């Protein structure tokens, strides 16, 4: 790996005006960096109106399927381009007292598909399940889902369109015909045209704007970096809040959720997800504790993951290929330590990547390591301390995160030091959920959080400490936008990654308040495989992290 380090005085100053607007000629490349940090000023009072959830009555979230007709249809990728998963739900959920879970075997899981609309000559059969969300507390309602079906199609041709219908033919309950396109074949000159990346969507009117903008950009694949439905901002009686712990802390014996919001989300998203493959990784809003300490039931049940196909056997971390890009999706809310299963899987997975076939290595998980907003500042430090060396040693090109409800693009960085071989970190937790846009920065005067206050009990450790070197040495926060942050802006939006070839990719960020064809940020990500060679590291176990107790 490159050993030289950039210093700020040598940095090429790229002024914000060349970036905003993203005119063809003016787009900088990462080779022009590291960039002088830019913060986009907030317009008006710094707050563009609150994000309001779609109500139960919105036609886009209501059940249209009759009987056992499929609804909430979605396509997701398997690990390789010759295979996809089709998922859908039949039968209605129940919520309240005396719920009776449906029998998952009562409705078959069949996909009819083919290269032509007629006849759909091929057939695949899968499995089905129901999940429950149970709260054994006086006054709280229980939920049981419709029947969730997952069917894997195999031996598909890469880069081709397939038509399909799903459902149970014996019940005369097959869906309409939908169409999807498989990922292009693996190889250094083979890429999906556009990959949309979004996070923390929720289901507000702002979410609908994000999704509209995303569709107008015609992605071939959608990557969701966690925090999906925000069903856990609701009580089981359907009363919601913009801030759960502010509103309900004295009422509930447990963190409740209103699971029908997941069904609303699945219905709202169907026009997109039935056609464009979507890959999801878990966020903290997917935890959803319930009876007997069960967690993540909706997340685990509703989505299909290439878990087995990528050798992880876990829904919480997995990998897949999209043309010449290898994606690793990591779990931040389960063990990530060096002696744990996730870490050992990641070592094996990275060791198996052939960069001559998939030159691009993209990693994604929910809470960002390099975040300069006050919200979730330094929260995922233990995960960074544990895993950063491994990702760096394999030359990860780009990292996508969510969690923070704003946009931020880093300079190339490693271990909090500018490094031309470090990954580019991009936070896109700005999908539009009802918790509002994040505006405060940790470096705003008087807003540096107390280190202990940055701890999240779901993140398994506490590692946030003061900087030991650099301009913020001895302090917890910088006194200005940190040098590892290249650009940050508090707006809702989504991003598009367009990989051109084995060295160049264009990343653009699209704000909801802009015209459909304009960009709020644009950068060419340039790989330097000769300068930044892959040097697999041999992992030494870390000393045990001490867990601080919940307070």
- Choose from Fe ion, ligand NAG, none: what does 437 bind? Cβ within 5-8 Å by kind: ligand NAG
Indicate the residue whose CB is closest to Fe ion. Answer: 403
Considering the rule CB under 6 A, would residue 210 count as an interface residue with ligand NAG? no
Q: How many CB atoms lie within 10 A of CB 543?
A: 5
Q: Which of 376, 403, 455, 494 is catalytic?
A: 376
Site for ligand NAG in 41-80 (CB under 6 A): 48-51
What is the number of other CB atoms lying within 10 angstroms of the CB of residue 162?
22
Peptide bond into 119 cis (omega under 30): yes
5 is a site residue for ligand NAG (CB under 6 A)? no
Please choose, out of 100-108, 146-154, 233-241, 254-262, the segment that lies near ligand NAG by the rule CB under 6 A.
233-241
134 binds ligand NAG (CB under 6 A): yes
Query: How many residues contact Fe ion, by CB under 5 A?
Result: 4
Near ligand NAG by CB under 6 A: residue from 40, 92, 128, 142: 142
List the one residue out of 485, 524, 486, 532 whose CA is nearest residue 507: 524
Determine, following the binding rule CB under 6 A, whether residue 544 of this chain makes contact with ligand NAG: yes
Q: 521 vs 87, 90, 428, 518, 531, CA distance in Å? A: 34, 41, 12, 9, 27
Cβ–Cβ under 8 Å, residues 34 and 411:
yes
How many whole angstroms separate alpha carbon 243 and alpha carbon 433?
A: 11
DSSP tag of 441: B
Contacts of 340 (CB under 8 A, 6+ apart): none
109 SS3 class = coil
Q: Give the Cα separation of 206 and 212 in Å (integer).
A: 10
Q: Is 389 in the site for ligand NAG (CB under 6 A)?
A: yes
Q: Binding of ligand NAG at residue 500 (CB under 6 A)?
A: yes
Residue selected from 237, 308, 533, 535 as contacting ligand NAG according to rule CB under 6 A: 237
340 binds, among Fe ion, ligand NAG, none (CB under 5 to 8 A by kind): ligand NAG
Residue 203 tokens, joined: 């289901």
Three-state SS letters, 173-184: EECCCEEEECCC
Task: Verify whether residue 245 is a known catalytic residue.
Answer: no
> Applying CB under 6 A, which of residues 291, 295, 357, 534 lies at the interface with ligand NAG?
291
Render 123-150 in DSSP notation, one character per residue: EEE-EEE--EE---STTPPEEE--EEEE
Q: Which stretch binds ligand NAG (CB under 6 A): 10-18, 115-123, 130-138, 223-231?
A: 130-138
Q: What are the backbone angles phi and psi of residue 292, rounded to the nearest 5°?
A: 55, 30
Residue from 238, 253, 471, 536 that binds ligand NAG (CB under 6 A)? 238
Give the single-character DSSP code of 347.
Answer: H
Shortest spacing between CB 40 and ligand NAG, in angstroms:
13
Say if CB 474 and CB 388 are below 8 A apart: no
Answer yes or no whether residue 25 interacts with ligand NAG by CB under 6 A.
no
Q: According to the binding rule CB under 5 A, does residue 284 interact with Fe ion?
A: yes
CB of 162 to ligand NAG, least distance (A): 30
Q: Does 216 bind ligand NAG (CB under 6 A)?
A: no
Q: Which residue matches tokens 């870490």?
A: 343
Task: Please choose which of ligand NAG, Fe ion, none residue 515 contacts, taking the beta carbon within 5 to 8 angstroms, the exact cut-off set by kind.
Answer: ligand NAG
227 binds, among ligand NAG, Fe ion, none (CB under 5 to 8 A by kind): Fe ion
Interaction pattern, residues 167-206, with ligand NAG; x per rule: CB under 6 A:
--------------------------------------xx
Is 436 a residue that touches ligand NAG (CB under 6 A)? yes
Q: Give CA–CA dist 143/232, Å, rounded.
A: 13
| 537 near ligand NAG, rule: CB under 6 A | no
Instruction: Name which of residues 307 to 336 contact ligand NAG (CB under 6 A).
Output: 335
Q: Closest CB to ligand NAG among 90 and 371?
A: 371
Q: Does 331 bind Fe ion (CB under 5 A)?
A: no
Contact 135, 86 (CB under 8 A): no
User: Judged by CB under 5 A, which stretch of 68-76, 118-126, 223-231, 393-401 contacts Fe ion?
Assistant: 223-231
By CB under 6 A, tell whether 471 contacts ligand NAG: no
DSSP string, 257-269: --THHHHHHHHHH
Q: Assess 439 for contact with ligand NAG (CB under 6 A).
A: no
Query: How far is the C-alpha of 505 from the C-alpha of 497, rounded, in Å?
Result: 7
Q: Could you identify the residue written with the tokens 């107790």? A: 549
- Compute the distance between CA of residue 89 and CA of residue 169 in angstroms, rounded to an integer: 15
Report the partner that residue 214 touches, choosing among ligand NAG, Fe ion, none (CB closer than 5 to 8 A by kind). Answer: none
403 touches Fe ion (CB under 5 A): yes
Measured between alpha carbons, how far is 429 from 362 in angstroms, rounded to an integer? Answer: 17
Single residue of 478, 492, 507, 509 touching ligand NAG by CB under 6 A: 492
Q: How many C-beta atoms surround the C-beta of residue 103 within 10 A?
A: 11
Of residues 416, 547, 405, the one with CA closest to residue 473 = 416
Tokens of 145: 């889902």
At its nearest, how many Å lie between ligand NAG and the CB of residue 460? 8
The site for Fe ion (CB under 5 A) is made up of: 227, 283-284, 403
Q: Just list the catalytic residues.
A: 376
The site for ligand NAG (CB under 6 A) is made up of: 48-51, 97, 134-136, 141-142, 205-206, 235, 237-239, 242-243, 251, 291, 335, 337, 339-340, 389, 415, 435-437, 448, 466, 468-469, 474-477, 492, 500-501, 503-504, 512-513, 515, 517, 544
């Amino acid at each position: 790996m490159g050993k030289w380090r950039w210093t700020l005085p040598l940095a090429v100053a790229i002024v914000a005006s060349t970036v905003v607007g993203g005119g063809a000629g003016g787009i900088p490349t990462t080779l022009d960096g590291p960039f002088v940090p830019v913060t986009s000023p907030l317009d008006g009072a710094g707050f563009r109106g609150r994000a309001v959830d779609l109500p139960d009555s919105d036609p886009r979230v209501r059940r249209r399927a009759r009987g056992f007709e499929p609804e909430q249809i979605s396509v997701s990728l398997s690990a390789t381009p010759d295979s996809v998963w089709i998922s859908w739900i039949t039968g209605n959920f129940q919520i309240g007292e005396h719920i009776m879970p449906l029998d998952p075997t009562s409705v078959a899981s069949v996909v009819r598909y083919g290269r032509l609309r007629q006849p759909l000559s091929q057939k695949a059969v899968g499995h089905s399940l129901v999940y429950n969300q149970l709260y054994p507390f006086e006054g709280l309602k229980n939920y049981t889902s419709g029947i969730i079906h997952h069917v894997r199609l195999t031996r598909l041709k890469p880069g081709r369109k397939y038509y399909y219908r799903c459902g149970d033919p014996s019940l005369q309950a097959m869906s309409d015909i939908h169409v999807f396109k498989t990922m292009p074949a693996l190889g250094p000159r083979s890429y999906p045209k556009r990959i949309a990346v979004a996070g923390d969507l929720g289901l507000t009117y702002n979410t609908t704007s994000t999704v509209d903008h995303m569709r107008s950009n015609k992605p071939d694949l959608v990557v969701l970096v966690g925090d999906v439905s925000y069903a856990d901002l609701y009580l089981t009686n359907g009363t919601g809040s913009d801030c759960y712990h502010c509103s309900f802390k004295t009422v509930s014996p447990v963190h409740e959720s209103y699971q029908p919001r997941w069904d609303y989300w699945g219905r709202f998203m169907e026009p997109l997800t039935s056609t464009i493959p979507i890959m999801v990784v878990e966020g903290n809003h997917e935890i959803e504790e319930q009876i007997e300490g069960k967690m993540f039931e909706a997340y685990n049940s509703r989505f299909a993951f290439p878990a087995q196909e990528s050798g992880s056997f876990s829904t919480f971390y997995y990998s897949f290929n999209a043309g010449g890009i290898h994606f690793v999706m990591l779990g931040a809310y389960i063990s990530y330590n060096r002696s744990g299963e996730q870490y050992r899987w990641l070592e094996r997975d990275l060791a198996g990547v052939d960069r001559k076939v998939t030159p691009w290595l993209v990693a994604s998980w929910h809470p960002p390591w390099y975040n300069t907003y006050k919200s979730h500042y330094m929260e995922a430090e233990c995960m960074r301390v544990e895993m950063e060396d491994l990702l760096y040693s394999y030359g990860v090109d780009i990292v996508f995160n969510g969690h923070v409800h704003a946009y931020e693009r880093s300079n190339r960085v490693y271990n909090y030091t500018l490094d031309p071989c470090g990954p580019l970190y991009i936070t896109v937790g700005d999908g539009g959920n009802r918790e509002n846009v994040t505006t405060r920065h940790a470096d705003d005067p008087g807003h540096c959080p107390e280190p202990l206050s940055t701890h999240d009990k779901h993140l398994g450790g506490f590692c946030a400490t003061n900087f030991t070197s650099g301009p913020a040495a001895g302090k917890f926060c910088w006194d200005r936008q940190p040098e590892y942050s290249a650009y940050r802006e508090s707006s809702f939006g989504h991003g598009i990654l367009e990989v051109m070839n084995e060295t160049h990719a264009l990343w653009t960020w699209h704000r909801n308040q802009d015209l459909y064809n304009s960009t709020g940020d644009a950068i060419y990500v340039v790989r330097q495989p000769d300068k930044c060679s892959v040097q697999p590291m041999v992992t030494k176990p870390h000393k045990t992290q001490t867990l601080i107790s919940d307070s």
